Copies of this chain bind each other. A is one copy, B any other.
Amino acid sequence: MRPLTPADLNPAILNVQYAVRGELAIKAEEFRDKLQSPGHNLPFTKVISSNIGNPQQKGLDQAPITFTRQVAALMEYPPLIELVSGKWPQDVIDRAKELQTEIGSIGAYSHSKGVPLIRKHVAKFIEERDGYPSDPEDIFLTAGASAGVSLLLNVLITPPTTGILIPIPQYPLYTATLAQFSGIPLPYHLSEPNGWSTSLREIEAALAKAEKEGIKPRALVVINPGNPTGALLDVPTMEALVKLCEEHSLVLLADEVYQTNLHRPTDHPFHSFKQVVRRLGSPVPLVSFHSISKGVKGECGRRGGYFEATNLSNEVRALLYKMPGDASYPLWKSETDTIHAALAHRTQLMAARLNALPGVSCVDSPGALYLYPKLELPDKAVEEAERLGKSPDTLYALELLHETGICVVPGSGFGQKEGEHHYRLTCLCPGVEEYVGALENFHRKFLKKYE
């Protein structure tokens, strides 16, 4: 066996640099440990982490917002409502009930784009902020803003020629993610003498340089308010940036996670790019990122955020939706051995009954949550599937769904040998008799239809 070395790994990963968690942060941890030991001889008594704004960390201990956390506690453990009724504010209880009705258990997979009610709430917030409509279908909930940025850069970058315009200085998330996805950073410098303002000339120079080098610029990253600069864009600059994106067919990636962190809102108000794009009636594809880690929430450990995709075609939006970032696994859960036994029994029973059907053979699986029966399908069914441009097991599964409401996964999604047909079904359904009965009836009708 040859040992695995960094040279065996993706070279793009070796380029990932993440200053916020680099040498200094590691050293700081060492000092924090050293301070515990008596006679440590260090010239200070505590380490102050000014590298990461992490207000709820130990030592800072900023309290989270009570309302948010009380609602969250009720979502974790719904029976708690009885205990706190009359003790916690009624609006906490009302909000939890509204969410529980909509979501059910927070332990369940939700829609890939996020819970519809929460996306509606986000759209309402955006409408009130901007004075322009926001469509909940344009909102994607993400695990923090970083997850959204990572998804968008992954989709927008076609290695090795895609360039992304990024401000300098920038938050290193951008250079790190560009390295990860082999995108080329096209840096434009912010003007420190003008309070870290954004200069169109700098961006145009970066675009000209890219063209000379055969790099295709695909998107412009703007961080507003700035990180690490804290600068705020004014409206004329924002309008000019939008027009520049139009001219060069760039996607505008607006990192607006600090939008409520304003120290002098009267003379330095925040304007969203969404508002500017709408007011100009611009067709520029815009993705605006926001986060629960910033502003008045500060819930960085919770990993929550959204992005709003404006002026993206349905086709492009659908590609964001089917990415595996929000992958959805099948699963099983049981609190006791009783449930284990019940599932084992149900699996065996279902396998036996499926095996009794003509043209069905099914391995009686000893583990996991599924059966994966093999189907011998009539030639006519195979021909009909070919005519429709579908795999035969997709035809079978579609008809099953249409007839019975039972949604399974065709074997073609998992991979199978040429000419074979399977489908996967879970053994989690309630009411085995009704469920398997429906499967049996459907199967017999299907065979008859295509015999």
Contacts and interface: CB of A to CB of B under 8 A. Distances in A.
Contact of A48 (B52, B146, B299, B406): B406
Nearest to A43: B403
A444 to B, nearest CB: 15
11 contacts: A1-B249, A20-B328, A50-B407, A55-B333, A56-B107, A107-B302, A176-B324, A177-B324, A261-B367, A295-B333, A298-B332
Contact of A192 (B73, B363, B424): B363
A19 B228 contact: no
Interface stretch (A125-133, A206-214, A283-291, A379-387): A283-291
A312 to B, nearest CB: 7
A341 to B, nearest CB: 9
Given A228-B370, A367-B268, A105 B407 contact: no
A6 B313 CA distance: 9
Contact of A10 (B43, B61, B109, B158): B158
Most chain B C-beta atoms within 10 Å of own C-beta, residue among A74, A225, A302, A335: A335
A238 interface: no
Given A48-B429, A146-B329, 5 more contacts: A19-B414, A64-B107, A180-B323, A230-B366, A231-B365
Nearest to A425: B50
B17 A413 contact: yes
Q: Is the interface of A mostly helix, strand, loop or mixed?
A: loop
B231 A4 contact: no
A251 B4 contact: yes
Contact of A414 (B155, B228, B312): B228
A187 interface: yes
B295 A401 contact: no
Given A10-B157, A109-B54, A313-B4, A405 B44 contact: yes
A279 interface: no
Nearest to A115: B301
Given A168-B414, A228-B370, A231-B363, A319 B156 contact: no
Contacts of A424: 51, 169, 228
Nearest to A44: B405
A60 B438 CA distance: 18
A263 B343 contact: yes
Contacts of A407: 24-25, 27-28, 47-51
A451 interface: no
Nearest to A223: B368
Contacts of A28: 401, 405, 407
